[in-house]
Amino acid sequence: MAKYFDVHPENPQRRTISTVAGLIRSDALVAYPTDSCYALGSRLGSREGINRIRSIRRLDDRHHFTLVCENFAQLGQFVQIDNDVFRAIKAATPGRYTFILPATKEVPRQLLHPKKKTVGVRIPDHAVVQALLSELGEPLLSSTLLLPDEEEPLTQGWEIKERLDHEVDAVLDSGDCGTEPTTVIDFSDGEVTIVREGAGDISRFE
């Protein structure tokens, strides 16, 4: 049965955030809010976390996982960015974008796209996940909480708790955070490719 934590969306309770971070360090799989719908998150190096997310979402090995980072300095440890891409991403973060880039050796191999050796990265603009990332001191391995055969992600913490009670270890609820996932931009081959148009404005990348 999943543990349930109700937090303020703008001023999350520090003790609750610390408790959830401790669960993640112990390999827990957590449903948590972002600035563009809820997501599933686990410890960066957790093979079990990867397998459980794949199982819940029925993902194959070509799915791009996302490293949700606290800030740009942290993001830069895990992906390779040239000057032009740096400026484009810097101008759009924090925000509702996921960027696909060549991974550095800091990224566990099981997270990489099997052929492209790329990974998704993002910096969310949401107080709860920012507090959680600050407490963790490392990125969250993450994927949008979109269940198989459903068109929109789950957006209510109580519903996530009800439906995934035996599949996740904890639900961090800060209220409705929308149903539109991030806009996904692929910079991995030197060109700008819009993979998915979502919550982030695509005009700056067109």
Residue 110: what are its φ and ψ, rounded to 5°? -70, -15
Q: How confident is the model at residue 152 (pLDDT cuts 50, 70, 90)?
A: confident
What radius of gyration, in Å, describes the C-alpha atoms of the chain? Answer: 16
pLDDT value of residue 12: 97
pLDDT value of residue 174: 96
Mean pLDDT value of segment 9-19: 97
pLDDT at position 191 over 90: no
| Strands of 96-176, DSSP E | 97-102, 118-122, 140-144, 170-173
pLDDT at position 137 over 80: yes
Angle 97-63-93 from CA coordinates, rounded to 5°:
15
Options 1.10.1050.10, 3.90.870.10, 3.40.50.300, 3.90.1150.10; CATH of 3-205: 3.90.870.10
pLDDT value of residue 197: 93
The answer to whether 5 and 170 are in contact (CB under 8 A) is yes
